[in-house]
């Protein structure tokens, strides 16, 4: 069976990203049990959406699918190009997409503090403490099980995206006072749209 990840090219459809506080973002997602073409198509569209957002990770609940999987790429390049009219575009390349379906942490070790952002909370950045090293068991798009070891930014990204499957957003890790302020602001912004 061929794997589109090996020769990934940027094709797909841009999906709408759900913003906080929407109910789907605080719901525990359900496991994937059908590894079919529609799953592959959804994943391709999620990658396309993530790269264009741009972001380094996107979980299924963020595109309104309460299912246990997410995509990440912490290594791709993004070059800003300014044309003669002064308009900015981005040249994306060196894609290394990774997909984690039905992930489970086997090990978490150490601590690391990093400023995080989220496509579902545009404009907000907060320092979050995470495990520095992780070992994750997951399934690929064919349902085959694998083990992933990660450290640093990749481990942070995996933990951030995993949280989305548990109905947790990164500001759930910060103080309640700060969180309520952000929640109020975002609710107001949504209403005024």
* Residues designated catalytic: 161
Which neighbouring-strand residues pair with 114?
Answer: 128
Of the pair 39, 118, the CB lying nearest Zn ion is at 118
Give me the least distance between CB of 31 and Zn ion, in Å please. 20
Residues in contact with Zn ion by CB under 5 A are: 118
Select 138 or 163, whichever has its Cβ closest to Zn ion.
163
Q: Min. distance of Cβ 8 from Zn ion in angstroms?
A: 21
* Nearest residue (CB) to Zn ion, 35 versus 66: 66
In contact, 71 and 50? CB cutoff 8 Å: yes
Q: How far is the CB of 167 from Zn ion (least distance, A)?
A: 12
Give me the residue label for tokens 């299924």: 60
Q: Give the SS3 label for residue 47.
A: helix
Contact between 133 and 105 under an 8 Å Cβ cutoff? The reply is: no
Q: Would you say the C-alpha torsion 139, 36, 160, 4 has a positive or negative sign?
A: positive
Query: Looking at the DSSP assignment, which residues form a beta bridge with residue 91?
Result: 79
């Amino acid at each position: 069976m061929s794997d589109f990840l090996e020769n990934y090219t940027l094709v797909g459809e841009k999906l709408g990203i759900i913003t906080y506080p929407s109910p789907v973002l605080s719901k525990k997602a359900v496991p994937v049990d059908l590894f079919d073409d529609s799953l592959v198509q959804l994943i391709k569209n999620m990658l396309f959406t993530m790269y264009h957002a741009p972001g380094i990770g996107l979980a299924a609940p963020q595109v309104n699918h309460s299912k246990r999987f997410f995509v990440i790429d912490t290594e791709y390049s993004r070059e800003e190009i300014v044309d003669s009219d002064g308009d900015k575009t981005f040249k994306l390349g060196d894609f290394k997409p990774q997909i984690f379906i039905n992930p489970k942490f086997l090990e978490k070790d150490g601590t690391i503090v990093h400023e995080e952002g989220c496509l579902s909370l545009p404009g907000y950045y907060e320092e979050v403490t995470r495990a520095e090293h992780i070992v994750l068991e997951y399934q690929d798009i064919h349902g085959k099980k694998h083990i992933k070891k990660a450290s640093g930014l990749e481990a942070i990204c995996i933990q951030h995206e995993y949280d989305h499957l548990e109905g947790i957003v990164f500001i759930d890790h910060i103080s309640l006072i700060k969180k309520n302020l952000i929640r109020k602001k975002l609710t107001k912004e949504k209403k005024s749209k």
